[in-house]
Structure 1
Amino acid sequence: MPGTGAKASNIGDDIDRADRMFNRARLSGAQDPAVITWVGYDTPPTPVDIGGHLDPTNWDVADASNQKYADAGADALDKFQAGLRATHDGGPSYNTVVAHSYGTTLVGDAAAHGRTLDANAVALVASPGTTVDYASDLHLTGIPEDQTPKHVYVTTADHDPIQVAQALQPFGMDPQDNRFGATKFSSDPGQTDWTYLTKPAHSEYWDIVNGKPNKALVNLGDIIAGREPTAK
C-alpha cells in the first residue's frame, strides 16, 4: 500500500508497481499470485518539494509525521486483510502486505496496540517508523510471537530522503536499526547528486531500468512468493 500523497485519483503508478510485483512473484515461484493495490485510508498530504528534493525542515508542515492518519486507517486495513482470509477458496493462501513510506506506519499501527494483522509477512519499504520500537511488538495472525521478526522485512535505499524521518523517529525506532529486529533486504541505492539524498530515490524501488529490475523489486517478488530475499 502507498503512503503520503496517495489517493484514488493518482493510483496509476501504484497499479504499475502491483503489476511488476505480480510478475516478479511468478518468477520467484508463486504458482497463482494476486496483487491488490489498497488505498483504503486517508493519507497525509504530499511533503513540500524544493527543486526535486524533500525539504526536511518542512516534514512537520506536510503533516507526514502525524500518526492520526495511521490511527484512523488501522481498523480498515485489519478488516480488509481479515476479509481476504474469509473469502479465500481452496487451501490456505500465503498473504504478504507490502507497504511504502507512510503506508508502513499504517501497517505497524494495524499490527500492534491490541490489534493483529491477518498476514503471513509484511515488507516495509522506506519506512519512517511503525509506531512500535521492535518487530517483536507486531502481531501477525497465526504467526507465533517469537517468530514474528522473521516475517517482517525492511529496506531503505542509500539515497532515500526518508532517512531524515528515520533519524527523527516520529513513529518509534527506525526499522532499519538492527535493534528493531526485522529482516533486511537489499535495494538499489537510488539516484543521487551533490545533496546525496534525492526525491527520486524514494520511489525507485519498483523501477526496471534497461531491462534490469531494482534489487528491491526482485526481493519483493521473493517475499510475496514466501521465499527469503535473493538479490544482494
Structure 2
Amino acid sequence: MVKKQSEITKLVTNIVRKEGSKYSWKYAYGFLFRKIGDLYFDISILGVKGGFLIRDNDDPLFKKGFGKLCLDLNYKWYEFDNLFWEIIGSSKYIKKPMSYHSSCGHQMRAMELVGYEIPIDVWEEKKIETFVSNFLEEADTKVLEESSKVTSIEKYLPRMEKLYANFLIKYPRALVEIQAERFFCALLTQDYEWARQILVEVNTDNPVGRSDGRDFWRRAKVFKRKIERANVKLRKDLNS
C-alpha cells in the first residue's frame, strides 16, 4: 500500500504523464502544458500525504489523516513571460523549451481556471487514475472554450481581472497582485499613458508576485521608455 510521500509523488507523476499524453498535453518537470494561439495553459496535479500543511488544512478529513489530490488548470498570455524575462535581464529564457513558461522558477503567474482538492483515504492507482482522467477531460473542454473566446490581448484583460477577483474570493488572505500583468497589457496594447499610471501607482516597497519588487519596477520603467521610443520612431519611419 502506498504510504510515503515519495511513493505518492511517484504514483501521481506516472499517472499524470500517462493520462496527459492521451489528451495531447506535453509533460515536463511536474507540469502538463499546451499553447493555443497566444494563450499558454498548464496543469499541476499533486498528491499530498495526510498531515502535510497545504492550503485549507482546517478540513476535518485532512485532520483525520486523509491526503489530498490537488488539481489545477491555469493559463496566461504567452507573451507576458517574454516581456518579464526581457525586463529582468533573463532574455535567454525566451529561446528555452516551452516548459520554461511553467517551470523555470522565474516566470509570470498563471491565473487559475479550475482548481480542486479531493480528499484521499487510500492511494489506490485505479482510483487516482480516474480522478486525473476526469479532470483532464474537463480541462480540455475549458481550454477549448477559453481559447475560442480570448483571441486578443484586449479580450484577455477583462478575463484576467475576473479570474483575479475570483482568486481573491477563494483565497482572501493571499498576498497577490496583478499590477505587473496590467503593465504588460498596457505595453502590448501600446497604451503608454496607462503604463505610466501603473508605474506611478505601484507600491515599489513591496514585492509584486514573482516580479522582483522594487528592482523589477525600476527596470520596467526603463523598458517602457525604450519600447515607447522605438514605436514612435517606427511610426515616423512609416509616415516619412
Return the TM-score normalized by structure 2: 0.26
Structure that is richer in helix per residue? 2
- For the pair shown, the structure with the greater C-alpha radius of gyration is 2
Return the TM-score normalized by structure 1: 0.26
